[in-house]
Structure 1
Amino acid sequence: MPHAFDPELAAALAMWSPVDISDLAAARAAQAAELAGTAERADSAGVKVEDVRVPGAPGAPDVLLRTYRPQGRPGPLPLLYTLHGGGFVLGNPDVDHEDNLHLCRELQALVVSADYRLAPEHPYPAALEDCWTGLRRLVEQAAGFDLDADRIALRGDSAGGGLAAGLAMLARDRGGPRIRLQQLHSPALDDRLTTPSAVEYTDTPVWNRPNALLSWAAYLGPAAGGDTVDRYAAPARADAADLAGLPPAHITVMQFDPLRDEGIDYARALLAAGVPTELHLLPGTFHGAGMVTHSAVARRARAEAVAVLRRALGR
């Protein structure tokens, strides 16, 4: 590839299989094989991990929440609510399991990962409503979860970043809870895919324009790219009035990622709406580069993310 990748990341690519969601059944099977045994292999020292189910919205199934609680830390604890990536069509809490263990230990906070429904079997708004329901149930049962409902941050990666951005709007528009930070990592925000990076990066690793087109088509159906998509589904469609009053944002984008420019544009739109926003562009990176955990750029981004969350949650 002609892209000037960070040398540590480029070396790791030789060991990776390409991601292709054109055959979704095969992609899901490959991911399941990759994630098999994740929970058993991960270092869970100092963290109690538990899967719980909370009632879904009327007519919807229960929502599974994976909770990570620091052992020996008295509550009530601040809450970090995390949403995994996977193009709206792949993934479950195992995707971010090791990251969530790390975040729980570093922040000494309750970390909760939502297992939202996937498209195309469950198109928009199923995933977002599952994320909202999980958050609302946590706050409703704050005493039972021993959490501090006044100290909540959202974190999402890729499709999860788009869901986190939409959830921040829902929380504001549906009367709370108040969110202290929305941390968006390589967020999928714009179904129109007309930015320069979305047009140019047709061959980048892990995520590229063909995958992005398939992802949005699965999530939104025939509406994808059209005039009827709302801002909760694709937050890049929000105008300044829609963005005013949202929680502070910390946005990280990758240089060689079709989603790069929509993340940059969203940061600029938030700033224009008066929302405190911090933007980081990581040079030489591609979508999912953080999975190369030993690389200097991934370690730097991880440390920065923890520092920002620590400040937001009062840790």
Structure 2
Amino acid sequence: MITGSVLTDHRQVLPLVEAVDAVVVSVEYRLAPVHPDPAPVEDRYAALLWMARNASALGIDPGRLALYGGSAGGGLAVGVALLARDRRHPHLAFQMLPYPMLDDRNTTPSSHEITDIGIWDRAANLQGWQSLLGDRLGTDHVSPYAAPARADDLSGLPPTYLYVGGLGLFRDEDLNYANRLMQAGVPVELHACPGGIHAGELLAPDAELSTRNTNYRMTALNRALHPSRTPDGPQ
């Protein structure tokens, strides 16, 4: 919610373009606290609308639009998916969510476990949410578009791939979200990896676990966006 840019994610975007044969639009959304909620999620929704409206010029199939976001970007991706569903446009084919940041309340066991260990921890998470929400943090006045764990209804959301590490701060809120998606009838591929830490593939991209998780993601994206190319897709 408070740091990063399209340049930060450039090295993640290029492999997606090459491995998935996709058009990738990376969004330079405004950051909190200078631009608190709802600016970040509305910026991303505006970018999605622009993609849908300019699909022909961009070489995009409007029937195969997907959202991809990790950590805070994952929470914003879910917020955008909820906006697209509730505003009835555009249709989304898929959402890819590595360790999404979903719940401002920070009451789960995992949200208390990860403290002072040099990765994204409880203190940093509270700072991020405070920057986004201000005095509304943890109250009943937080929109589900800002903190998607608060959404009462998850039906109608696109098929989802979700990864979270067993040692990740967001483990419990992500597992709960994935379970609620399945209960709402949304197809979910869920990976909860023992020993995985938050954004581990960015910190150690050549580690065996990082390589395995990256391959899983690429396979899931190809299956979602190019079903005819995969063995389990239509022939």
Q: Normalising by the residue count of structure 2, what TM-score does the alignment of the two structures yield?
A: 0.94
| Identical positions, percent | 45
Find the counterpart in structure 2 of residue 282 from structure 1: 193
Cα deviation, residue 138, structure 1:
1.3
Cα deviation, residue 205, structure 1:
3.0
Q: Find the partner of 2:217 among 296, 305, 311.
A: 305
Q: Find the partner of 1:200 among 89, 110, 113.
A: 113
Q: Find the partner of 1:133 among 46, 54, 65.
A: 46
Q: CA RMSD in A?
A: 1.0
Q: Aligned partners of 1:255, 1:295: CA distance in 2, in Å?
A: 16
Q: Aligned partners of 1:208, 1:295: CA distance in 2, in Å?
A: 21
Which runs of 5 or more residues in structure 1 are unaligned?
Answer: 1-87
Is the 8 Å Cα contact of residues 254 and 260 (structure 1) preserved in structure 2? Answer: yes
SS in 2 for 1:262: helix
Q: Aligned partners of 1:153, 1:146: CA distance in 2, in Å?
A: 14
Find the counterpart in structure 2 of residue 11 from structure 1: none
SS in 2 for 1:265: helix
Find the counterpart in structure 2 of residue 54 from structure 1: none
1:43-122 matched pairs, under 5 angstroms: 88-122=1-35
Is the 8 Å Cα contact of residues 204 and 286 (structure 1) preserved in structure 2? Answer: no
SS in 2 for 1:245: coil
Find the counterpart in structure 2 of residue 245 from structure 1: 156
What is the letter of the counterpart of residue 187 of structure 2?
P
Q: Aligned partners of 1:277, 1:204: CA distance in 2, in Å?
A: 31
Q: Say whether residues 1:272 and 2:183 are aligned partners.
A: yes
Which runs of 5 or more residues in structure 2 are unaligned?
Answer: 230-235
Q: Aligned partners of 1:109, 1:288: CA distance in 2, in Å?
A: 23
Higher mean C-alpha displacement, 89-98 vs 184-193? 89-98
Q: Normalising by the residue count of structure 1, what TM-score does the alignment of the two structures yield?
A: 0.70
**How many positions carry a matched residue from both structures?**
226
Cα deviation, residue 254, structure 1:
1.2
Q: Aligned partners of 1:209, 1:172: CA distance in 2, in Å?
A: 31
Find the counterpart in structure 1 of residue 134 from structure 2: 221
Is the 8 Å Cα contact of residues 142 and 149 (structure 1) preserved in structure 2? Answer: yes
Q: Aligned partners of 1:133, 1:177: CA distance in 2, in Å?
A: 11
In terms of fraction of residues, the more strand-rich structure is 1
**Larger radius of gyration between Structure 1 and Structure 2:** 1
Q: Aligned partners of 1:151, 1:226: CA distance in 2, in Å?
A: 37
Cα deviation, residue 293, structure 1:
0.8
Cα deviation, residue 270, structure 1:
0.7
Is the 8 Å Cα contact of residues 254 and 281 (structure 1) preserved in structure 2? Answer: yes
In terms of fraction of residues, the more helix-rich structure is 2
Is the 8 Å Cα contact of residues 205 and 286 (structure 1) preserved in structure 2? Answer: no
1:131-210 matched pairs, under 5 angstroms: 131-210=44-123
SS in 2 for 1:261: helix
Higher mean C-alpha displacement, 273-282 vs 299-308? 273-282
1:225-254 deviation digits (Å, cap 9, x = unpaired): 111111111110112xx2111111111001
Higher mean C-alpha displacement, 153-162 vs 251-260? 251-260
What is the letter of the counterpart of residue 207 of structure 2?
S
What is the letter of the counterpart of residue 277 of structure 1?
V
Is the 8 Å Cα contact of residues 166 and 231 (structure 1) preserved in structure 2? Answer: yes
Is the 8 Å Cα contact of residues 120 and 218 (structure 1) preserved in structure 2? Answer: yes
Find the counterpart in structure 2 of residue 29 from structure 1: none
Q: Aligned partners of 2:156, 2:60: CA distance in 1, in Å?
A: 24
